Structure 1
Amino acid sequence: MNVEGTILVGPEFEPVEGRVVVEDGEIQAIEEADTGSDSIVIPAFVNAHTHIGDSIAKEAGGGLSLDELVAPPDGLKHRLLRNTDRETKVDAMARTVTQMEETGTASFIEFREGGVEGVAMLQDALARRAVDPVILGRETEAAMHESDGFGASGARDGDFDQLRNATRRAGKLFGIHAGERDAADIHPALDLDPDFLVHLVHVEELHLDRIEDNEVPAVVCPRSNLVTNVGVPPIRQLTERTTVALGTDNVMTNSPSMFREMEFAAKLTDLPAETILRMATRNGAKIAGLNCGVIEEGRDAKLVVLDGDSDNLSYAKDVVRAVVRRAGHADIKRVHL
């Protein structure tokens, strides 16, 4: 299979006209050529932090605080999940997975509530879908063993030492929320030696030093943080210290569109478009241990083909900037996952 157009090649997303040669799902070569195609070929996205169980409650709880919305065990989302039947929860998650697939997301890192049964419900929702998530079980060690790792709610919510040790022994991924409502849980989260931290809205200089020294990646979810009124993360400072990826967080409060997350992050920070696109692709893949997120030989051929001649993208003078700040679902020609 060949995919032709203006290809955003490598970690710097150099625009190259030509074709991506794909065999058995792997990029074999990138050939420069005059193709006459108006397509723009980008790596598929990796959404580095989601809670898609919340798909049953889109836009519920407007005006509530963060704790009122999502704090375990009795935040609004947890009450709604307890009172919703299994079939509805699976259907809602399946619809969100379909939406992510259609909007170019190859994988997502899911903090999956509900223990072993919660993991099983998401696995059921994934039936016959091309998106291949990294599922982090929550609440129990058994959920970790049934999934790809453990996603901790936050150091203030319990003692995670044993779960962290069990996850390490299993050779699996351990992520934890930190610094979302205040800075008090960031040092305790770092003491667990996590594989990555999520949110870091209230990160301080001493935390940044530890994050840099220990090479701990960060996942930021700026749209979510703004909606829950906790502030916005210092994304620029984080990118100067560590690997930073983007996540869309709770489906209850945000669509799982990485286009929307990129545009918001770009306009919030005015970071270079290439930096933001890396946060939505390569960096998330790096955290998740995936072989995608960048178009180069030997990578999995997870690709999104955009219509460069759409009314939205035509006459763009800077292709990467247009993809990050302007592109959307309507510009997609096809998705290769």
Structure 2
Amino acid sequence: MHLEGTILVGREFEPVEGRVVTADGEIVRIESCAVDSDDVILPAFVNAHTHIGDSIAKEAGEGLTLDELVAPPDGLKHRLLRAASHAEKVEAMARTLRYMESTGTGTFIEFREGGIPGVEALRDALSGSGVEYGARDIDAVVLGRDDPDVLAVADGYGASGARDGEFESVRTATGEAGKLFGIHAGERDADDINPAMDLDPDFLVHMVHAEPLHLDRLEDRGTPVVVCPRSNLVTKVGVPQVRELSARTKVALGTDNVMLDSPSMFREMEFAAKLADLPAREVLRMATVNGAEIAGLNRGVVEEGADARLLVLDGDSDNLAGAHDLVRAIVRRAGHADVKRVVLDGTPLRRE
């Protein structure tokens, strides 16, 4: 198949008028040529940190502290997850998956609560088992939690935080299995950052309270960070130093708990861009290729040989028409209504 329009090529998202040719789920050719299309073609988003099990409890817990909301084992979200049936969780997650696809997300990194049953529930939601919406084409990198044995069925382990338990043994097991290990750090304060970094994780999440020492360690080790600024604002823990972090290491964007925020990468990009006043291209990398690289995936960029997971926006929409800087317009103002097509594994999913 092929797509025509203005193509945002490579890591710099250089606009090229022409055609993207795909085959067998891969970008095989980018042709520069005159085309009669206002479409804008860019990589599908990579949401680098989610908790979509929270789909059963959207906007629950107003006024609660971070610990009261999400701290294991008895934060509000954990109590609600325990109370919900397998079918209820699968149905709620399936709805979120459908929304994520429709807003241009092609891949997400999920910290999945509930051990092996929790991972199985997400797999059921992805496969369409027991839900009316059918299988989804969005890809999940599923990091299990709450049980070391979850590594048998998960793509890695997503630890809650160094203050919540001892993770050395599961970190060792994850490394021996060649799987991904991520951990929350520096969300409410700086106390758990060094212990988290001592585990040599593949990436850290949040780092709201990173201090100069921690920034130096990040730079020395090259440890990536996933930031979730909207979530941090909602839980009143502060906001990450996105500009400072991005100057030291690779930074990706995540939307965090569905309980607190919609899993829209458009909203996360806009908030992060205006919060940190970073160049639009840097923010778009945070929403695409940086997250893909953290997960070890060949996507998040439009170039030959990359996975054909693409987002097509209507460049002539009332919202985007007249943009002088196309990448800046996408990062700061584009949204759900501008999505024309989402192409995952070479198959177009047209908006209904």
From 308, 320, 332, the equivalent of 1:325 is 332
Deviates more, 1:77-86 or 1:219-228: 77-86
Gaps of 5+ in 2: 128-134, 345-352
Q: What SS does the corresponding residue of 1:134 show, helix, strand or coil?
A: strand
Question: Residue by residue, what CA displacement relative to the aligned partner does 1:266-295 show, whole Å, maximum 9, x if unpaired?
Answer: 111110000000000000000011111000
Q: CA shift at 1:145, angstroms?
A: 2.0
Q: Which residue in 1 is equivalent to 2:94? A: 94
Aligned: 1:154 with 2:161:
yes
For the residue of structure 2 that corresponds to 1:109, the secondary structure is strand
**Pairing of 1:65-214 with structure 2 (within 5 A):** 65-127=65-127, 128-214=135-221
CA deviations on 1:291-312 (whole Å, 9 max, x unpaired) are 1100000000100000000000
Please state how far the C-alpha of 1:29 moved relative to its aligned partner. 1.1
Q: Which of 307, 312, 319 matches 2:314? A: 307
Q: Quote the residue 1:260 is aligned against.
A: 267
Q: Structure 1, residues 44-76: CA drift from partner, whole Å, max 9, x if none?
A: 000000000000000001111100100011111
Deviations 1:153-200 (A, max 9, x none): 000000000000000000000000000000000000000000000000
1:276 aligned residue: 283
Q: TM-score, normalising length from structure 2? A: 0.95
- 1:131-157 CA-partner distances (Å, limit 9, x unpaired): 011000001111122110000000000
Q: Secondary structure at the match of 2:248?
A: coil
Cα shift readout 1:19-54 (whole Å, capped 9, x = no counterpart): 101111111111111102100001000000000000
Report the TM-score when normalising by structure 1. Answer: 0.99
Q: What amino acid is the match of 1:189?
A: A
- Counterpart Cα distance in 1 of 2:152 and 2:13: 37
Once the 2 structures are TM-superposed, how far is the Cα of residue 332 of structure 1 from its aligned partner? Answer: 0.7
Let me know the Cα RMSD of the aligned residues.
Answer: 0.5
Q: 1:94 Cα shift?
A: 0.6
Question: What is the CA-CA distance between 1:11 and the residue it aligns to?
Answer: 0.1
Moved over 6 A (4+): none
Distance 2:29 2:249 in 1: 30
Partner of 2:43: 43
- Alignment partners' CA distance in 1, 2:94 and 2:235: 25
Within the alignment, does 1:217 sit opposite 2:235 as a pair? no
Choose which of 212, 235, 241 in structure 2 pairs with 1:234.
Answer: 241
Question: Structure 1 unaligned runs (5+)?
Answer: none
Quote the Cα distance in structure 2 between the aligned partners of 1:221 and 1:18: 34
- For the residues of structure 1 that align with 2:304 and 2:259, how far apart are their CA atoms? 38
What amino acid maps onto 2:30 in structure 1? I
Q: Give 2:218's aligned amino acid.
A: I
Name the count of aligned residue pairs.
337
AA partner of residue 289 (structure 1): G
Deviation track 1:207-253 (CA, whole Å, cap 9, x = no partner) reads 11111111100000000000000000000000001000000000000
Partner residue in 2 for 1:244: 251
CA distance in 2, matches of 1:286, 1:298: 15
Is 1:11 equivalent to 2:18 in the alignment? Answer: no
Offset, 1:97: 0.7
SS class of match (1:3): strand
